[in-house]
Amino acid sequence: METRRISTLEVSTVGLGCNNFGWRLDYDATVAVIDTALEAGINFFDTADIYGNTQSEEFIGRALQGRRDKVVLATKFGMKVDDQRQGAKPEYVLRACEDSLRRLRTDHIDLYQLHQPDPSTPLGDTLAALDKLVRDGKVRQIGCSNFSVEQLRQARAAAGEGARFVSVQNEYSLLHREPERGVLAECEREGLAFLPFFPLASGMLTGKYRIGQPVPENARLSSGRPKFLNDRNLGIVEELINFAAYRGHSLLELAFSWLLSRPAVASVIAGATSPEQVRHNVQAAGWHLTPADLEEIDKFAPVD
């Protein structure tokens, strides 16, 4: 498994998204996925306090007892846990961190991320609280998610001499290329790591959804994120499948390797509901696309 850097953190180029833990997966199934991820060389685990209604962090904490040092552990705060636990006010930042540390059964979080901007709180106040967590040794690095170029610049200015965001986690895939309108370039200019979520467009880039074929039973897109399931995207998927197959690769390999062709991308965060899915994700990241490949892909999967 290749690695890249998020500031001082060295992470596997394929990360494990832990949003299924405590929701789609019970504890035993979670352990099976985590065990397989570690065996396959994945060292970057990304979760959030809201995943599984806080159970994702709890399951990870239990599963990693005795092997915490094998993982670069990232979590997030800021989205609504309940009416009392949400947002990015300084006092809540400190409380949210303590709650996550307890659930994760660890004394530090490697990458602590603001899950979304909080318009009710000055960004400088949030950053001051995060800086305290870094100085206290409870957090190694800080990041953000769902931030625009303007918000990244505001954060850089507001940080002053304190801790700064070292990463941004936004949606990015062959079917959602919006980060190319500015955020990726900003990351390259400022040395920020970019972490794409929904890299497979909620399953559209796995090959499960094809023109003229029924949606698989219990498929996520049948109810979860219908914006991806449309004639335009189905047409793009067919083009991508043909492009990959002609070169001896799968659509899954193309989806991962295309993201990793972007210099700012540090790790592709992919969820998994089974050990087999983990192994497929890891194997998918080894295709090194040429400039000619990328130019051809742009013709049928254009920037949004």
Q: Which residues participate in catalysis according to the annotation?
A: 51
Handedness of CA 160, 166, 168, 173 (dihedral sign): positive
Is the dihedral angle over the CA atoms 223, 224, 229, 230 positive or is it negative? positive
CB-neighbour burial class of residue 213 (10 A; exposed 0-12, middle 13-18, buried 19+):
exposed
The four Cα atoms 171, 147, 92, 138 give a dihedral, to 10 degrees, of 80
Residue type, 271: G
Could you give the 3-state DSSP secondary structure of residue 294? helix
In this structure, the number of other CB atoms found within 10 A of the CB of residue 189 comes to 11
Q: Other CB atoms closer than 10 Å to residue 140's CB: what's the count?
A: 20
Instruction: Kindly state the tokens that stand for 45.
Output: 């685990």
